[in-house]
Amino acid sequence: MQSANLLLKKLLRSSVLPFAAQHGMKKDLFPLSRTLSLSRCLKQDNSCDPSEKLDLDGWKKVMKSGLQEAVSETVSEHKELSTLAAAREILEMWRLAGRLVPENISEEQLKTYIECPSKSAKKKYLKYLYLRELYKRNNKRKTDGKRERKLESQEEASKSDETKRNSLVCLWANSMDRAYSWRLAQSMIFGQPLVFDMSYEREMSAREVANTVRQLVLSEGCNRRSVDPFHIHFCNFKDNSLYHKEFIKHYREAWGRLLITVTDQCYTDVFPKDKLIYLTADSPKVMKTFDHDKVYIVGSMVDKSIKTGCSLARAKRLGLETAALPLEKYLLWHSGAKNLTLDQMMHILLTLKDTGDWKKALEFVPKRKYYGFVNKPVDELKKTLNLINTLKLGKRQEEIRKQFAKNYSKKLTHK
Amino acid sequence: VQPPEKPLQAEEWNRLRESFQSPEVFEEVMFNSMLRCNSPIDVAKSLLTHVAKSNGDIAYNLLVKYLALCVQQGQTSEICDVYDIMKIKFKILEGGAYNLLIRGMSNSDQWRMALTLLEEVKKIMIPSRTNYESCIKAAIRHQEMNLAFELYHEMLAKDVVPTLDVLQAFFDFNRGMKGAELQKELFGILLYLRENQIYPHKTFMRSIKLWFESIPGGNWRGHLTNITDSGQCPVCSHQLEDCDLTEEEYNNLRERIIRDVIHGTDTFRKTSPQEFEAFQTFVENRLPFDIVIDGLNVSHIKPRKMHCENLFDAVNCLAKENARLLVLGRKHMLSNSSNWKREIMKEMQNKAHFFFAENISEDDAFLLYATLRSGKHCKFVTRDFLRDHKACLSDTLTRHLFRKWQRGHQIAKSEKVFLSVSIQQPALPYDCVVQTTGDTWHIPYKDTFEEKYSYQVPRKWLCIQQKL
């Protein structure tokens, strides 16, 4: 079998080379008909000086002359292509064609790419990888630059050779960490619990899970740094789930040392039912004040394709009380969904816990989503907005009517 | 940048390049503008020569752009040359280059080359619909009907949706041809339109008409007409198919509505199991209804009026005909408020059956269920297009069934005009698809090429009948 393959390869090699050679010869032997047409073109154009005649097909010769070596290379590489290698080659061609495709792609990413169900999904995934690569490269450039500058300044400092005296040993980061941990440990005994419901894995794509975990890591971080942290519970947490894998990616060994409670139990098993409040944007009830005796539940879910009623369904099934943030009441909403990211929720809840001031807490809602804070009652504002809109629209309508009348009279005169 | 009108020397290109603000992308930008202005091909060649001589190589994207220019101007021999160069230089090409090559080749006398290219594309991906379009059109143009149909069937087998242009080409180029096999294939295309609820546009319709009339010995005659509201064709006085689904389709649709729309991934998202069960027993005990009304939707028809007044008008108007009514609403309608007066609600409950869902439940799903459960004669009243519910259905076939059923059973305006300004047509008694009885064909068509909302159905028809 192998020998047959070898033979085939040899045949291929020997058959391609003469073909290429023949091709080259043909060019030299027959002055192509195209050059003929060119000369005719030149005759017509008298302004063109014959001395500066252009060899318009010169590029073809250049392209083909460089091929002789290239051909022998490609032939020696010629193998039976696996699907992965084939995909890699297509990607390379796309990159050459100037599409948004990453330069380097790992085996794993390539597999995900092949498994994408449609052409557009593939395109999207590639663009995502491309942008990520771009960000990484830019970041690396920046950090490299910083490091160099730092080294330079250090050298200068060492030249000047000046020892500084300080009463405190520089151990800030370490001691800060210890202080935070102390506070967290306290909150784990005395603090108010905050539950993250980790039961949404089935509703999310792998990328959404990754985003969720990122947001959770951020919220854990800001909880740790706060003055009076929550006692965080991850409920319905299954070992070896996607969530778990992503967490390990982020925290590595530190995952085991985190000062939070992780359990596969449901929150209804951990806490009395009447103390639980499920926070969801779909809730018909609006939160009025922050209750320090209740246990709030936040669904750990990122839904890029907004799936309404998912978390509300959870609460309904278990018969829990629900609540939504009073966004409408305090903010004049502009655009965007009312669901916020997990770290924003964390910021808001922490601020509420510390101060109970809604205005301060809702500062953490992204600015692009609202026009401003509501000072007057909302109804009044809405009325003025409506008035403005109708005035605007009314004017526009009149304009359209005028335009129409104009066109119409034109048509009539044409007739 | 304005491309030059004549081929330039290397120095001239260099000068131009240096005067350009970002020289790295100069060639690309220049080629783009050449494409836009459709510059003579010699200009592009001179630029390529310049690039090749200064770099010793030409980047793939420049080659593709040059190829695009050649295709745009139909320079077949150039296309072949570029293909040769690409073929030796790169192991495979990407979709964009293949698209251009196939398009360019199929319009030339070397159109068979396009077919081999199509084979190459198949090795690396599913060819696009335009690839197939070019090849099929080329085959049709050269009277290779078997090949064309082979490609067409292959395309359908791969779930690639054919363009209307291709379908039209089949009719255009077979005018006056004879052959039972051919006729069968073209009828097959018409049935494809029927199954996918596609409406041909005016020029396509004309091609169909001309083809029918040109069949030798077929004696087909086509007329443009409007179908009456009752569903009769004024030309041949044939009664069109009605909107009713078959028993099997009907049951299928009902099952799917329960499974996909009401339950979905989680019954609690739209209702709760207890509530749905309660609703089911409620409906079973009072079957059948004639009209099911979406109470909240109807109550918002006239914004100046009180909500319950609107509903009251609608119920009154519909109740006159001795119909069994079901009004769906939510519990908050029962609490006495400025919009919902208790006395009026009481009075209405004497005239119609009422079911009040929880305030956070979705009543539309109940509306669909109740109507479907009552049987084929039952209609429903709402101005909602129910698109989100249609979207819950997972496959296109069921969606088509839903659309068809919705067309026949949804009322947004009664004949008695209680809802002043209408948004939608009244329920049509006939089905709006391509249909045949063997010796007649009725084909709905769009007046203009694009303008049609998905919920609107065309009112113009082509009636074709065979005179024996």
Task: Give B137-195 pLDDT, tens digit per residue.
Answer: 999 999 888 999 999 999 999 989 999 999 999 999 988 888 888 889 999 999 999 98
CATH number assigned to the domain comprising residue A290? 3.40.1280.30
Alpha-carbon Rg of chain A, whole angstroms?
A: 34
Residue A352 lies in a domain: yes
**Is A217's Cβ below 8 Å from some Cβ in B?**
no
Residue B447, chain A, CB below 8 Å: the answer is no
Q: Does A74 touch chain B (CB under 8 A)?
A: yes
Average pLDDT, chain A: 78
Residue A35 forms part of a structural domain: no
pLDDT band, residue A67 (cuts 50/70/90): low
Q: What percent of chain A has pLDDT over 90?
A: 39
- Given a cut of 70, whether residue B450 has pLDDT beyond it is no
For the stretch B412-436, pLDDT in tens is 754 444 443 333 445 677 888 899 9
Smallest Cα–Cα separation from B212: which of B229, B228, B200, B195? B200
Confidence of residue A395 (pLDDT cuts 50, 70, 90): low
| Residues ≥6 apart with Cβ < 8 Å to B211 | B171, B172, B174, B175, B186
Query: What is the structure's pLDDT at B191?
Result: 93
User: Do the Cβ atoms of B88 and A284 come within 8 Å?
Assistant: no
CA distance A135 to chain B (A): 22
Strand partners, A278: A297, A322
- Tell me: pLDDT of A221 over 80: yes
B272 lies within 8 A of chain A by CB: yes
Q: Across B88-158, where does the E strand assignment appear?
A: none
**Chain B interface, mutation test: which of A26, A41, A46, A93, most B Cβ atoms within 10 Å?**
A93
Long-range contacts formed by A283-286: CB under 8 A, 24+ apart: A283/A312, A283/A315, A283/A322, A283/A323, A283/A324, A284/A322, A284/A324, A284/B359, A284/B360, A285/A321, A285/A322, A285/A323, A285/A324, A286/A323, A286/A324, A286/A325, A286/A326, A286/A328, A286/A329
Q: Would you state the pLDDT for residue B291?
A: 87
Please state, as a whole number, how many other Cβ atoms lie within 10 Å of the Cβ of residue B184: 9
> Is position A320 within any domain?
yes
Asked whether residue A153 falls in the same domain as residue A195, the answer is: no
Could you tell me which of B162, B166, B183 has the C-alpha nearest to residue B174?
A: B183
pLDDT of residue B154: 94
B341 phi and psi angles, rounded to 5 deg = -85, 135
**Residue A131 binned pLDDT confidence (cut-offs 50, 70, 90):** very high
Residue A13 has pLDDT above 60, yes or no: no
Best mutation site among A16, A59, A202, A390 for testing chain B: the one with the most B CBs within 10 Å?
A: A59
Query: Which burial class, exposed, middle or buried, applies to A83 when counting CB atoms under 10 A from its CB (0-12, 13-18, 19+)?
Result: exposed
* Position A404 confidence tier, pLDDT thresholds 50, 70, 90: low
- Residue A98 has φ and ψ, to the nearest 5°, of 90, 20
At A400, the pLDDT band (50, 70, 90 cuts) reads: low
Locate tokens 């994207």: which residue? B61
First to last CA, chain B: 66
Of A255-264, A284-293, B68-77, B309-318, the least confident: B309-318
The tens digit of pLDDT for each residue in B190-219 reads 999 998 888 899 999 999 999 999 988 888
Residue A377 has pLDDT above 80, yes or no: no
The number of domains in chain A is 2
In this structure, the answer to whether residues A363 and A216 fall within a common structural domain is yes
Smallest CA–CA distance, residue B4 to chain A, in Å, is 15
Q: Do A309 and B81 touch (CB under 8 A)?
A: no
CATH value of B247-409 in 3.40.50.11980, 3.40.50.2300, 3.40.50.720, 3.40.50.12780: 3.40.50.11980
**Dihedral (Cα; A374, A376, A378, A383), 10-degree rounding:** -120
Residues A151 and A208 in one domain: no
- Smallest Cβ–Cβ distance between A96 and the set B6, B61, B126 belongs to B61
Residue B197 CB: number of other CB atoms within 10 A?
18
Residue-range definition of the domain harbouring residue A221: 191-373
Flag if A284 and B51 touch (Cβ within 8 Å). Answer: no
Question: Given a cut of 90, is residue A348 above it in pLDDT?
Answer: yes
B198 in helix, strand or coil? coil
Compute the distance between CA of residue A337 and CA of residue A366 in angstroms, rounded to an integer. Answer: 11
Contact A309 B94 (CB under 8 A): no
- Cα separation, B383 vs B404, in Å, equals 17
Q: How far apart are CA B172 and CA B189, in angstroms?
A: 13
ipTM value for the complex: 0.78
Residue type, B218: G
Type and span of the H or E element at B222 = strand B220-226
CB contact under 8 Å between B269 and A309, yes or no, is yes
Nearest Cα of chain A lies from the Cα of B402 at a distance, in angstroms, of: 23
Residue B78 identity: E
Q: Nearest by CB to A67, which of B9, B88, B93?
A: B88
A177 touches chain B (CB under 8 A): no
- Encoded amino acid at A330, one letter: Y
**Residue-level pLDDT at A46:** 41
CA atoms of B96 and B94, how far apart (whole Å): 6
Does residue B65 come out as left (phi exceeding 0), alpha (psi in the -120 to 50 range) or beta?
A: alpha
CA distance B46 to chain A (A): 5
If you write DSSP's letter for every residue of B345-364 in order, what string do you get? HHHHHHHSEEEEE-TTS-HH
Q: Do B268 and A317 touch (CB under 8 A)?
A: yes
∠ at Cα A117 (A116, A118), nearest 5°? 100
Q: Is the Cβ pair A312, B45 closer than 8 Å?
A: no
Tell whether A123 is covered by a domain. Answer: yes
Distance CA A353, CA A292 (A): 7
Q: Which of chain B's residues have a Cβ under 8 Å away from the Cβ of A317?
A: 266, 268, 272
Integer Cα distance of A371 and A336 in angstroms: 12
Give the pLDDT band of residue A415 (cuts 50, 70, 90).
very low
Residue A413 pLDDT? 45
Contact A96 B266 (CB under 8 A): no
- Secondary structure of residue A97 in the 3-state scheme: coil
The mean pLDDT value for B120-131 works out to 89
Distance between CA atoms of residues A35 and A55, nearest Å: 9
Q: How far apart are the first and last CA of chain A?
A: 84
User: Cis omega before residue B288 (within 30°)?
Assistant: yes
> A98: which 2 tokens?
């100037």
Q: Tell me what pLDDT residue A231 has.
A: 94
Q: Does A388 touch chain B (CB under 8 A)?
A: no
Check whether B346 has a pLDDT greater than 90: no
Number of other CB atoms surrounding residue A331 within 10 Å: 21
**CA-based diameter of chain B, in Å?**
94
A229/A128 same-domain check: no
Q: Indicate the domain borders of chain B.
A: 163-237+428-467, 247-409
> B94 and A308 in contact by Cβ < 8 A?
no
Is A398 within a domain? Answer: no
**Does residue A286 share a domain with residue A143?**
no
Lookup: tokens for A383: 């009325």
> Are the C-beta atoms of A276 and A267 separated by less than 8 Å?
yes
The Cα angle at residue A337 between residues A333 and A342, in degrees rounded to 5: 110
Q: What angle do CA B78, B79, B84 make, to 5 degrees?
A: 95
More confident: A374 or B311 = B311
Nearest to A96 among B9, B52, B59 (CB): B59
Note whether residue A260 is domain-resident. Answer: yes
**Residue A414, pLDDT above cutoff 70:** no
What is the spatial distance between Cα B51 and Cα B32, in angstroms, rounded to a whole number?
16
List CB contacts (< 8 A) between A57 and chain B: 45, 49
> Which of A41, A59, A317 comes nearest B52 by C-beta?
A59
Which residues on chain A are in Cβ contact (under 8 Å) with B4? none
Contact list in A for residue B61 (CB cut-off 8 A) is 96-98
Q: Are residues A151 and A201 in the same domain?
A: no
Query: What pLDDT is stored for residue A230 in this prediction?
Result: 94
DSSP A338: S
Position B156 scores a pLDDT of: 93
Answer whether B63's CB lies under 8 Å from A64's CB. Answer: no
Is the CB of B49 less than 8 angstroms away from the CB of A48?
A: no
Q: Which of B9, B58, B61 has its CB closest to that of A59?
A: B58
- A93 chain-B contacts, CB cut-off 8 A: 60, 90, 92-94
Q: Is B449 on the interface with A (CB under 8 A)?
A: no
Whether residues A56 and B6 touch (CB distance < 8 A) is answered with: no
Query: Does residue A309 contact residue A288 with C-beta atoms inside 8 Å?
Result: no
Residue B157 pLDDT: 93
- Please name the amino acid found at residue B329: G
Q: Using the 8-state DSSP alphabet, how is residue B289 labeled?
A: P
CA angle A151, A155, A158 (to 5 degrees): 135
- Give me the percent of chain B exceeding a pLDDT of 70: 95
**Does B77 contact A203 at a Cβ distance shorter than 8 Å?**
no
* pLDDT band with cut points at 50, 70 and 90 for residue A173: confident
Q: Are residues A343 and A244 in the same domain?
A: yes
Q: Kindly list the distances between the CA atom of residue A298 and the CA atoms of A324, A361, B404, in Å, as whole numbers in the listed order.
A: 11, 16, 42
Judgement on whether residues A124 and A257 belong to the same structural domain of the protein = no
Q: Which residue has the tokens 């993250």?
A: A196
A134 in B contact zone (CB under 8 Å): no
Please identify among residues 386-425 of chain B the ones whose CB lies closer than 8 Å to any CB of chain A.
none
Q: Which residues of A touch B93 (CB under 8 A)?
A: 93
DSSP helix, strand, coil percent of chain B (3-state; round to 5): 55, 10, 35
Residue A76, min C-alpha distance to chain B (Å): 13
Q: List the CATH code of the domain at B163-237+428-467.
A: 1.25.40.10
Residues β-bridged to residue B356? B329
Residues in chain B: 468
Residue A51 has pLDDT above 50, yes or no: no
User: Least CA distance to B25: which residue of chain A?
Assistant: A98
Please determine, for residue A42, whether its predicted confidence score (pLDDT) is greater than 50: no
Read off the pLDDT of residues A274-314 as tens digits, 9 standing for 90 and up. Answer: 999 999 998 989 999 999 999 999 999 998 877 788 889 99
For residue B442, which of B458, B428, B456 has the smallest C-alpha distance? B458
Q: Looking at the domain assignment, is residue A280 inside a domain? A: yes
Closest chain B C-alpha to A158 CA, distance in angstroms: 43
Contacts of B447 (CB under 8 A, 6+ apart): B201, B202, B458, B460
How close does chain A come to B52, measured CA to CA in Å?
A: 5
Nearest residue, CB atoms, A316 vs list B56, B92, B272: B272
Averaged pLDDT score across all residues of chain B: 85
- Evaluate whether A201 touches A242 at the Cβ level (below 8 Å): yes
For residue A147, count CB atoms less than 10 angstroms from its CB and return exposed for 0-12, middle for 13-18, buried for 19 or more. Answer: exposed
Query: Minimal Cα–Cα distance from B226 to chain A, Å?
Result: 29
